[in-house]
Structure 1
């Protein structure tokens, strides 16, 4: 049985794309489908697999996420026509988020289908990136009508991409568990995601064709998304801000770290800062990771990041004082900071950045 219903309909199984996508298109009574994909999904087999399994009555229009304007503008002409239209997001967080925003712009009656191809997200986070990807531009978007989690779609990712995406999924679980909102079911889901990540992330990075490890890390991303209604925290606030500032500085896309790649460097100072406000929750996280008693959680996570090839310091980014000041200000304004367990100001984030260098 592949179907899960929690917040929305979720199919999770190897090659579930071929089994469930035609079924869901028929269930939603779709005659036209706008497929929003990122570069990786378009270049690999994912897009071909989606188009191949569409029912004969469903006409597809394909658009690259990078060509869409803010909120999915300039797409109305792609879905005009007879019958009911839907929007399918295919790829990572940007493509899935823009698909949700595009469907919203087209109207409440337009259903959203999410097909993730990375192990970082599954398209149901309560916060989705704006078209610029800048910190502070996150907003709530309507949930997809259905999500298809197919681990075989993630097999293309190399070690570096797998490490960054997997660490991001893990930190989603950690920060959601620590977030200020009261939601015991979400806490349990988040802790289970932490347990899975600690057991399987190294193996997924070491062998990209290990489908069992890929399946487990995609499950971590699902756990983080399901629990993510609680919000995130300081690591994501800083990561959003750093990525936005590096892009604004003019760093070429290949030089701006993938989202998740900097988390291992940010975790020790952020967790140390939050420690007075979390009670015994670090102990619960350490137990989920099966760490020896007395282990410093932040340092253990930094070492875990180093083992999978992630930097544990930010010095290589070349951040000068002016850039760090701007990053600190963006982090304090980011929506992820609103649910950080301890109130963090611009000055606090400036200190945390310095400690991560």
Structure 2
């Protein structure tokens, strides 16, 4: 069975795009969908597969080519296009930009998200590409279709940064302050899968088992993120905005993890042994070093000094990180001065 009911309807299976999309569109009464895609959704044969899977009498409209960063005006323009073309449902297809944008259009209509990366499945907080937009109340999709065969072909670097983002989202969801035992279990399982399969997915883009496991980890991250995230996510989004890294969310996570985890350590001591077990780290081993070493093997930066940001840039990033919603669920609430110190330690 490919159907999971948790938060929303979720299908998870290879080639489930062709199997489940027509059935779900009929069930939801979608005949005139607006299809929103980004670069990841237009890779290789992904878009052809989507259009070939639409019901015969379907009359789709298509908005494509969305790139980071997304501005408020773009969101409004898409919403106007939706109304003007009398669409009756939305399909977000691709990476985080397309999936997150689709969640901000006409909350009254049904939404289907279909990821083609291991970065996001269209659940959880809105990503860093929307830092310049006015975001309010992103909704959950009516249906999520997770098909690992759509993620084959992504570059090694794109897989590395997406996978590291997934891994740290699971880590931070588990460590977050909110009380949600089911989400804790989901986060730990996602963390376990990501640690064991990320390097394989990066090293061989055609390793379908590794891709499937990483897509499962991304699903876990999205479901667990209902607890909230933490300081790594807050600092990463703020730094990306200062450095203009709109299309590389997750690239800085490995560099930020050691200082942020050290800052949080006094508040999470009872949870670290469980994380060590999930990651396969020996008793007493250093979680931050293990994940940082994985980042280095994947070619991710170990420090942020190479961004060339001045102290004023770091101050602006620290202020933004302190104001980010993810900071509210960090194990220790950090001030702007705390974030400035953490960013300086990561340089």
- Normalising by the smaller structure, the TM-score range is over 0.9
Does the aligned pair in 2 maintain the 1:34–1:79 contact within 8 Å?
no
| 2:84 is the counterpart of 1:94 | no
Mapped partners of 2:260, 2:60: distance in 1: 45
**CA-atom RMSD, angstroms?**
1.8
TM (normalized to structure 1)?
A: 0.92
Using the alignment, how far apart are the partners of 2:137 and 2:199 within structure 1? Answer: 32
Aligned-partner SS, 1:323? helix
Task: Please name the residue that 1:353 is paired with.
Answer: 343
Q: Deviation at 1:330?
A: 0.6
- What is the 5 A alignment of 1:38-187? 38-64=38-64, 65-66=66-67, 69-80=73-84, 85-104=88-107, 108=108, 110-125=109-124, 127-129=125-127, 133-134=130-131, 139-187=136-184
The answer to whether the Cα contact below 8 Å between 1:100 and 1:112 also exists between their aligned partners in 2 is yes
Residue 78 of structure 1, CA deviation = 4.2
**More divergent stretch after superposition (260-269 vs 50-59):** 50-59
Equivalent positions of 1:142-291 (< 5 A) are 142-247=139-244, 258-291=248-281
What's 2:12 paired with? 12
Answer yes or no: is the 8 Å Cα contact 1:135–1:330 preserved in 2.
no
1:354 Cα deviation after fit: 0.6
| Structure 2 unaligned regions, length at least 5 | none
| Paired position in structure 1 for 2:294 | 304
CA spacing shift, 1:137–1:234, aligned 2, 3 Å:
farther
Q: Distance in 2 between matches of 1:134 and 1:257?
A: 12
Helix, strand or coil: the match of 1:73? helix
Structure 1 gaps of 5+ residues are: 248-254
1:47 Cα offset (Å) = 1.5
What is the CA distance between 1:158 and its match in structure 2? 1.1
Give distance in 2, aligned partners of 1:337 and 1:197: 23
Residues 123, 223 of structure 2: 8 Å contact kept: yes
- Structure 2 counterpart of 1:251: none
Q: Select between 56-65 and 182-191 the one with higher mean Cα deviation.
A: 56-65
Aligned residue for 1:112, secondary structure, equals strand
| Aligned residue pair count | 343
Q: Distance in 1 between matches of 2:132 and 2:183?
A: 25
Distance in 2 of aligned mates of 1:91 and 1:228: 20
Q: Deviations over 1:149-192 (max 9, x none)?
A: 00011112111111101111011100000111000010001001
**Per the alignment, do residues 74 and 326 of structure 1 end up closer, same or farther by CA in structure 2, a change over 3 Å counting?**
same
Indicate conservation of the 8 Å contact 1:128/1:139, yes or no.
no
C-alpha distance in structure 2 between counterparts of 1:36 and 1:257, whole Å:
17
Q: Quote the Cα distance in structure 2 between the aligned partners of 1:191 and 1:155.
A: 25
